[in-house]
Structure 1
């Protein structure tokens, strides 16, 4: 669920602030695929509960003039966006019903970017479609990091978590959304008339 506010500073450039909340449950058994040999998930056999709160600020570049009245009522524009976000997340790791890692509250920073399209349903109502990955600066979103989750590593008999973590990249998460927004138009009044001083004044 996302709440956002956009402010157009020019025809192609839009500033956006957004607040997103998400709760997910990841289970290793759900990744089983009979057509492939994937023993890793069966071996780990864990379940991860993950809740996230994200506040982001970004800039959008509209490729078409979305407010061009000549095209109405069918105004549409694809756009590209990039920004910065503060992420608060907490997660709990369980294995075969036993809590291996309790809920742990953390903060981190991510870089959202992606593409989308805006479509005007009417003068005020707009429909949007957006896809954007988030690059993170942590490798602990899913408790799978090279130096973390010692309890699970000990339970699996590895002694450390290097056996199942990828030390060569950081975590990522993705956002796919359909949005409905309402446009508020600002009508600029003409400047106050001032009578210029004449010859007889």
Structure 2
């Protein structure tokens, strides 16, 4: 009897279940010590991705995507004079793999348009870098710009370049045809690091950094002296960043979802609608 009940519960899910391909294109940005705005297109970069989506029913889907993005920011764009005087900048590629659950407020078999939300878990890789005064690309983690890994600063451990984040967001979908859905979405990623931009806490002693990592580390840790009239390297302990606020990154753009054919050659969308006796576009558009 229990088995019959279980089949009765699960059958509607698997009879509807449909595989889809997702394609994403848009822009990426971050929130941190060099970019404090919650959401902005200033200093944004391109991002794109692809993945698979499994529709359990008309409202709930499971997704897995591989996403590429790039984040960057520079103090020179800041409205605050003290940050412009610091003159730091960075760039980083973000490679992400995620697992998401998504909820559509309206069934797209009955409505042409629906808002939706999603959340899940992601693994991402980053590696911040900047260009020195000669134009040479310099990866920042290896320089220990805030004393990470130095014996004189035992509380500052080197940060991992591959970490977890919590993606969540939402958007709005528009069904173009039985097999194609177009969406615009915004997805934020809560991270557990303050080093997406290689900036977190305070300046370390210049002499210690110079002896341990060389002149390039000192040059990239503070760049105010590159400006006309800029000050020299700050005293040890001077605030460089805010360690209480972890960094975030986000991606926003268009997503195209394409339904794959089922084993009998008919998409899950079409099958569902034919079972309901409907073969043309739904009348509801909201």
TM over 0.5: same fold?
Answer: yes
Alpha-carbon distance between aligned partners in 1 of 2:178 and 2:73, rounded to the nearest angstrom:
41
Aligned length: 178
- Structure 1 residues without counterparts, runs of 5 or longer: 190-201
SS in 2 for 1:90: coil
Task: Give the 5 Å matches for 1:159-198.
Answer: 159-160=236-237, 163-186=239-262
SS in 1 for 2:107: coil
> Following TM superposition, by how much is the alpha carbon of 1:121 offset from its aligned partner in structure 2, in angstroms?
1.1
For 2:196, the equivalent position in structure 1 comes to 141
Structure 1 pair 132–164 and aligned structure 2 pair: CA distance change class (3 A):
same
For 2:105, the equivalent position in structure 1 comes to 63
> Following TM superposition, by how much is the alpha carbon of 1:181 offset from its aligned partner in structure 2, in angstroms?
2.3
For 1:13, the equivalent position in structure 2 comes to 60
- Structure 2 residues without counterparts, runs of 5 or longer: 1-47, 142-159, 210-217, 224-231, 266-286
> Following TM superposition, by how much is the alpha carbon of 1:185 offset from its aligned partner in structure 2, in angstroms?
4.2
Moved over 4 A (4+): 94-101, 147-150
Higher relative contact order (CA 8 A, sep 6+): 2
In structure 2, which of residues 124, 127, 140 is the aligned counterpart of residue 87 of structure 1?
Answer: 124
SS in 2 for 1:22: strand
Structure 1 pair 163–82 and aligned structure 2 pair: CA distance change class (3 A):
same
For 2:164, the equivalent position in structure 1 comes to 109
Task: Give the 5 Å matches for 1:14-53.
Answer: 14-31=61-78, 33=79, 38-53=80-95
> Following TM superposition, by how much is the alpha carbon of 1:101 offset from its aligned partner in structure 2, in angstroms?
5.8
Structure 1 pair 134–91 and aligned structure 2 pair: CA distance change class (3 A):
same
For 1:121, the equivalent position in structure 2 comes to 176
> Following TM superposition, by how much is the alpha carbon of 1:67 offset from its aligned partner in structure 2, in angstroms?
2.1
Alpha-carbon distance between aligned partners in 2 of 1:13 and 1:164, rounded to the nearest angstrom:
44
Instruction: Report the structure, 1 or 2, having the larger helix content.
Output: 2
Alpha-carbon distance between aligned partners in 2 of 1:97 and 1:26, rounded to the nearest angstrom:
19
Q: Does structure 2 retain, via aligned residues, the 8 Å contact 1:18–1:57?
A: yes
Taking structure 2 as the reference length, the TM-score comes to: 0.55
